[in-house]
Amino acid sequence: MLTSVIVAVTGAVAWSTAHAGPLEDAALQAAIDGLGSSADDKITESVTKLGALDDPRAIPALDALGDERLRLGADGHAYVWDSKTRDLRNAVTGQVVTPEPRPLKEVEVSNEIRRVADPVMAQLKLGSPDTAVRLAAAKELSNGGDAQAPVLLHRALEREHDGKVREALTLAIARVDLSSADPNARLGALEVIRKSGDDDFLSTLQQMLSPGDNGQPREPDAQVRAAAARARDGIVSHQRMVGFAGDLLHGLSLASVLLFAALGLAITFGLLGVINMAHGEMLMLGAYATYTVQTIMHGSRFYLFVAIPVAFLATALVGVLLERTIIRHLYKRPLETLLATWGISLGLIQVVRTVFGAQNVSVANPDWLSGGLEIAHGLVLPWARIAVVGFVVVVSAAVWFVLQRSRFGLEVRAVTQNRAMAASIGIPTKRVDALVFGLGSGIAGLGGVALSQLGNVGPELGQSYIIDSFMVVVLGGVGRLAGAVAAALGLGVVNKLIEPLAGAVAGKIVVLVFIILFIQRRPQGLFAIKGRVEA
């Protein structure tokens, strides 16, 4: 019995708030129509009435009023002109009105009207059923110097349930309180601000502490000044942490791309002793393959799932082709291989320039990868970067699995350790060579897919990564997966952490110097096998 009563009451309340009755509808429409009046004071009167009605459905009409998109129809009703679709719409329902009640009269707006309308808009927005609208309104009010703002904000805060909006409202109130005459109110506001870590307040805080026209700090109360200083320091350190975390993720995603490039290189160099200067171009080809797939699939949100295998196969094929035609003639001559593959890279870049043009192309992230994860105020971790890190983990695990647990991997390891022996027990070493080269190139191609999601793609894309991936291989020790991972991580992260402090160039130089010094102590890299050094 009690349950059904509660249900009924809740239902009634819910219904009444959600669906205003016909009486309210009429009043709403009348007030909106009043906005189209030719007399300014009539308009302001209607605006005030809309404020009293407190119905968020009036927002589009008020919005249109401010943009001068409100039209008074011949039937005496006010309509909204949608500039995007070039339609006339009903102010309340938003539906397109046909036929248009011509002639339409434009409603002009004066500053006086705006001064009245803006706070009403804010108030209505604060009461909108849409969370995003409320949030935006709260933020907007936080910046404004509106006298009525405190009342609105407090009222909205009482009604508000959503955590994010509450936070925005609290901050807005705090900003208003900063200019309050009461020092305690100011202190309270500063505490809120300090906790938030929001750097929007930095300039205001700085102003409070810096001298005004009379030479004294603008903030008269010493206690408040101290609190302001604490708040400012709190914000600065928060921002620093946020920046650091952002850089860390950036470094991780950079490390992921490096790892893609270096993994392939470590495998081919470890097995074949071949340094492939065209390896960077495999990255580039993978990125362009992604671009092509995206273009062909007309930007379908699933294009990535097609692009990944396509990029892998395309670059693996190119790698196998290179190995069969050119590189296998140059084994035992690693320096010449370096030169020959450099020539190949020149050719590849030129081909891409001819086919795709010399300008950069951009590959748009699919919608499920755009945006990011907001962890703290100001810290948004882009989904694309998180996905890249995840992707490289998956691929590295797959590579490890293939090398350590599959028949093919066994053959590869056998040939790496003792080619002659492996050949004599029947392992097709030449085929293994070609396949390994293909695998290494294919992994780099996957790196290109990742790169395409992180930034622009151009013909010289590979060039900027090749040196870094070489460094990773040198640092990590040749042919060692764990070494490559550790080195890529280290280089990527360190690079990105140094960058905000000293610039990208200094970062590269530091890394280079570090590697040279490191090699002094451990010439075999991070994870190499200790053994007899061959004469």
529 binds other proteins (CB under 8 A): yes
CA 82 to chain centre: 31
**137 vs 344, beta carbon nearer other proteins:** 344
Report residue 122 as tokens: 């804010």
Residue 531 binding other proteins, by CB under 8 A: yes
Name residue, tokens 């799932």.
305
Letters for 25-64 (x = contact with other proteins by CB under 8 A, - = none) are: ----------------------------------------
Point out which residues pair with 89 in neighbouring strands: 80, 96
Q: Which residues contact 175 (CB under 8 A, 6 or more apart)?
A: 142, 143, 189, 193, 201, 204
Task: Give min distance, CB of 446 to other proteins, in A.
Answer: 23
Query: x-or-dash pattern for other proteins, window 221-240, by CB under 8 A?
Result: --------------------
Three-state SS at 81: strand
User: Tokens 């620093």 correspond to what residue?
Assistant: 240
Stretch that binds other proteins, among 30-38, 110-118, 485-493, 503-511 (CB under 8 A): 503-511
The smaller minimum CB distance to other proteins, of residues 427 and 515, is found at: 515
Rounded CA-CA distance 310/427 in Å is 29
3-state SS string for 253-316:
HHHHHHHHHHHHHHHHHHHHCCCCCCHHHHHHHHHHHHHHHHHHCCCCCCHHHHHHHHHHHHHH
Choose which of 201, 312, 470, 527 interacts with other proteins (CB under 8 A): 470
String of contacts with other proteins for each residue 314-343, x by CB under 8 A: ------------x--xx-xxxxxxxxx-xx
Distance from chain centroid for Cα 270: 36
Position 505 contacts other proteins (CB under 8 A)? yes
Nearest Cα neighbor of 18 from 10, 26, 29, 27 is 10
Residues 474-493 close enough to bind other proteins by CB under 8 A: 474
Structure tokens at 49: 């009435």
How far CA 522 is from CA of 83, 263, 517, 525, in Å, comes to 68, 21, 9, 6
Q: In angstroms, give the least distance from the CB of 468 to other proteins.
A: 9
Nearer to other proteins, 251 or 477 (CB): 477
Nearer to other proteins, 5 or 517 (CB): 517
Closest contact distance (angstroms) between CB of 288 and other proteins is 17
Residue 295 in the binding site for other proteins (CB under 8 A): no
Cβ closest to other proteins, residue 364 vs residue 516:
516
Beta carbon of residue 342, minimum distance to other proteins (angstroms, whole number): 5
Say how far apart CA 287 and CA 251 lie, in whole Å: 20
Q: What is the dihedral of CA 87, 21, 135, 119, to 10 degrees?
A: 80
User: Are the C-beta atoms of residues 304 and 317 closer than 8 Å to each other?
Assistant: no
Figure out which of the listed residues 11, 347, 371, 390 binds other proteins, where binding follows CB under 8 A.
347
Taking the least distance from each CB to other proteins, the nearer of 201 and 527 is 527
CB of 495 to other proteins, least distance (A): 12
Measure the CA angle with vertex 339, ends 335 and 342; round to 5°. Answer: 135
Choices 24-32, 87-95, 227-235, 512-520 (CB under 8 A): range interacting with other proteins: 512-520
Nearer to other proteins, 367 or 534 (CB): 534
Pick from 9, 296, 376, 504: which binds other proteins (CB under 8 A)?
504
Which x/- pattern over 72-111 shows residues binding other proteins (rule: CB under 8 A)? ----------------------------------------
Q: Contacts from 493-497 at CB under 8 Å and sequence distance 24+?
A: 493/248, 493/251, 493/252, 493/254, 493/255, 494/251, 495/251, 495/254, 495/468, 496/247, 496/248, 496/250, 496/251, 496/254, 497/244, 497/247, 497/248, 497/251
CB of 438 to other proteins, least distance (A): 19
SS3 at position 114: helix
Binding of residue 420 to other proteins (CB under 8 A): no
The residues binding other proteins (CB under 8 A) are 275, 326, 329-330, 332-340, 342-347, 349-350, 354, 467, 470-471, 474, 503-505, 508-509, 512, 515-517, 519-520, 523, 529-535
